[in-house]
Structure 1
Amino acid sequence: MPLYIPENYTNILGTVQNTEKAVKSVKDMFQDNLSAQLALLRVTAPMVVLSGTGINDDLNSVERPVRFPVKDLGDRPAEVVHSLAKWKRLKLADMGIAPGMGIYTDMNALRPDEELDNLHSIYVDQWDWEKVIRREDRNLSFLKKTVRRIYEAIKVTENKLFIEFPQVTPSLPEDIFFIHAEELLRMYPDLTPKERENEIVRKHRAVFLIGIGGELSDGTVHDGRAADYDDWSTPNEDGFNGLNGDILLWNDVLQSSFEVSSMGIRVDCEAMRRQLAIRGQEDKAELYFHKRLLAGELPYTIGGGVGQSRLCMFLLKKAHIGEIQSSIWSEEDRRKCAEAGIVLA
């Protein structure tokens, strides 16, 4: 997406100092609310993992990680994480966490192949969370129940933020709307995936879009998703494939659908094998993470990430993620933003 400059944009918090205070408030409040809603324990997360283990999230399998040799390990290559989608499941197994409980962490990642715009930065910060579930919980009803809990955590944060910063008025609806990507395609067959999102999210303002990564009836996918963590190929009780999705909110500042979370019920052995075959990645079955999963050593889980800078940007009604976090931007984008009163960190 090209840089978007809203007309007559103003920082409703007045100053950069007030913005920094509000960012801290959002982060403190939301992680407490998320932990309470999902029964999560905070744990410390790695910033790097060893290459060749299958632990790093390879996103759409084309993005390049930041990789470097570790001198004291005989120059064995390590890489900065893209996310902790698979690391969390290993952590739950090693901690022996019981069903109904889980973990969350402050995840800091680098994604050097991101296309920089209002929403995307090479620096990614999110609350990565993962929860142990029972095999019988691997269904759409359980997924929707979990989504509603996360949405409630967002709404509680929004309402508490309004008390502390009354200029930041709440805008979220009472409930979140659920729809499958195939249903959305049938509603708007002539639109692109992003255009479809804009139509449905403009109407409902808060949407959980199900089935990200699975093939749709026109042979496309709504958006990419790796084959080895979210389960996007198992049939659900609505008659479509997919036990994962994205939380999308309507952003009044950008006049666009705005993703704040990607999440889902994770693959079991059967779904892992099926999805690796679909993507032609059967060789991954020999990697450390995949071997442990296929050997039945990892628990059934549900998990995802909630973007920290993204959520702050939405709740504080900012036009650019660079108003929340410090990162790298082109001089041209910095100039255009400065002319519009958008102060990038």
Structure 2
Amino acid sequence: MCRIQLENEQKIAFVKKTFSHLLCEKLNLIPISSPLMVLDGLGINDDLNGIERPVRFPIKSMNDKQAVIVHSLAKWKRIRLKEYEIKQEEGILTNMSALRPDEDYSPIHSIFVDQWDWEIRMNKTNRTISYLKENVLKIYESILETEKIISEKYTEIKPILPQQITFIHTEELLQLFPNQTAKEREHLITEKHGAVFLIGIGAKLSSGQLHDGRAADYDDWSTETELGKGLNGDLLVWNPVLKQSFELSSMGIRVDKMALHRQLIEREQEDKLSLSYHQMIMNDEIPLSVGGGIGQSRLCMFLLRKQHIGEVQVSLWDDKIVKEQLDKKIIML
């Protein structure tokens, strides 16, 4: 068993090295360091859906100021673009490690989250769907090329991804499958096309419902476009091992001050405008940007055709889950 785990670790390392190299080349990214924690009360940590509790602790050497373990670096990266004087159409890439203790366990969910967090400085004229799609295509090309390289090195793994990714708006998807839930719609469209970028996550659809939750203060999900509301989305692929749609990445053009104000009003969170991060946006003190996260364990799980995320990352699992996986002959790290 130990030898199998070691070989698996080598494959995981190869996937991560290959993909991150390709991603940096295609998106013009510079690798940088990232924090595990940030100070609380500045508005920098990702609030996710607004109900998840971050890990919080006092710092003795800072008079017990509260810090939180990051949920993601969605907002922190934008500040870094300014601090590092990143140029237009240049970006940063960092290996993010986060804790989400309120996450529900499943074969694709763990309380430990690892992802490539990237952010590119852009100008105002690029706040368009076409620019968003350009970056999606580059990311998908990186995934495709990684799959090809993996299949050449490990011949038991056969390429399955389509050469083209399909773009569809959440409203269009609702009209196609009006009687299904949001997740069921994702499964149906992704099984049909193999790889899909689903545009417009966070705004209300014609049904009055959200396709999925998205925080109000990083992605722009409320701007009207030629397709409908939203300058953001999720990259999904069909996972034949799990027989379901499988999210690899969430990304979007970030809010400008108009979108931030509009979205905070819609979510009844206007009090956040007084926070340090939000003030920087309202005062035009940080750059406009596009960015997102790409799940490292998710990508490894997909490309190595694994059944459980515990096969590609070390996390905490209760005894029942460990036993269930062992009964299925699934070896967790």
Q: Same fold (TM over 0.5)?
A: yes
Q: 1:80·1:110 contact (CA, 8 Å) conserved in 2?
A: yes
- How far 1:236 sits from its partner (Å)? 1.0
Normalising by structure 2, we get a TM-score of: 0.99
Deviation at 1:15, TM superposition (A): 2.4
Counterpart residue number, 1:304: 292
Alignment deviations for residues 124-179 of structure 1 (CA, whole Å, 9 cap, x no partner) = 00000000011000000000111000000001111111111111111100000000
Kept in 2: contact 1:273–1:282 (CA 8 A): yes
**Which of the numbers 181, 204, 207 marks the counterpart of 1:218?**
207
Query: In structure 1, how many angstroms separate the alpha carbons of the residues matched to 2:182 and 2:226?
Result: 23
Question: Is 2:133 the partner of 1:122?
Answer: no
The residue number in structure 1 matching 2:79 is 90
Q: Secondary structure at the match of 1:202?
A: helix
Question: What CA distance in whole angstroms lies between the structure 2 residues aligned with 1:292 and 1:63?
Answer: 25
Q: CA deviation at 1:97?
A: 1.0
1:263 is aligned to 2:230: no
Counterpart amino acid of residue 93 in structure 2: Y
The residue type equivalent to 1:74 in the other structure is: N
Helix, strand or coil: the match of 1:130? strand
* Matched AA of 1:305: G
What is the 5 A alignment of 1:197-276? 197-238=186-227, 240-276=228-264
* 1:37 alignment partner in structure 2: 26
In the TM superposition, what is the alpha-carbon distance from 1:272 to its structure 2 partner? Answer: 0.2
2:9 partner amino acid: E
Aligned with 1:246: secondary structure? strand
CA distance in 2, matches of 1:164, 1:322: 23
Per the alignment, residue 185 of structure 1 pairs with 174
Q: 1:132: which partner in 2?
A: 121
Distance 1:190 1:65 in 2: 35
1:175 maps to what in 2? 164
C-alpha displacement at 1:16, in angstroms? 2.0
The answer on 1:314 being equivalent to 2:302 is yes
Task: Please state how far the C-alpha of 1:336 moved relative to its aligned partner.
Answer: 1.1
AA aligned opposite 2:68 = E
Which residue in the other structure is 1:23 paired with? Answer: 12
Deviation at 1:308, TM superposition (A): 0.3
Q: Distance in 1 between matches of 2:33 and 2:86?
A: 15
- Counterpart of 1:340 (choices 303, 316, 328) is 328
Q: Does the CA contact (< 8 Å) of 1:261 and 1:307 recur in 2?
A: yes
Cα displacement (A) at 1:314: 0.2
Runs of 4+ aligned residues of structure 1 deviating over 4 Å after TM superposition are none
Residue matched to 2:279: 291
1:189 Cα offset (Å): 0.7
> What does the per-residue CA deviation read over 1:57-88, in whole Å, with 9 as the maximum and x for residues that have no partner?
01011100000000000000000000000000
Residue 98 of structure 1, CA deviation: 1.3
- 1:19 positional shift: 1.2
Correspondence for 1:110 among 89, 99, 103: 99
- Contact 1:139 / 1:237 at 8 angstroms: preserved in 2? no
1:338 Cα deviation from its structure 2 partner:
0.4
Whether 2:324 is the aligned partner of 1:328: answer no
| Greater relative contact order (Cα < 8 A, sep 6+) | 1
- Taking structure 1 as the reference length, the TM-score comes to 0.95
- 8 Å contact from structure 1 (residues 58, 82) kept in 2: yes
Give the root-mean-square deviation of aligned CA atoms.
Answer: 1.0
Code of the aligned partner of 1:266 = R
Residue number in structure 1 paired with 2:185: 196
Gaps of 5+ in 1: 1-10
Deviation at 1:17, TM superposition (A): 2.2
Any idea what SS the aligned residue of 1:161 has?
helix
Letter in 1 for 2:73: L
Distance (whole Å) between structure 1 residues aligned to residue 216 and residue 328 of structure 2: 41
Q: Structure 1: how far apart are the matches of 2:304 and 2:87? A: 36
What letter is aligned with 1:158?
A: E
SS in 1 for 2:87: coil
Partners of 1:234 and 1:227 in 2: how far apart?
Answer: 12
**C-alpha separation in 2, matches of 1:66 and 1:331:** 23
AA paired with 1:22?
K
Q: Distance in 2 between matches of 1:21 and 1:184?
A: 39
Percent identity among equivalent residues? 52
The CA distance in 1 between the partners of 2:216 and 2:303, in whole Å, is: 32
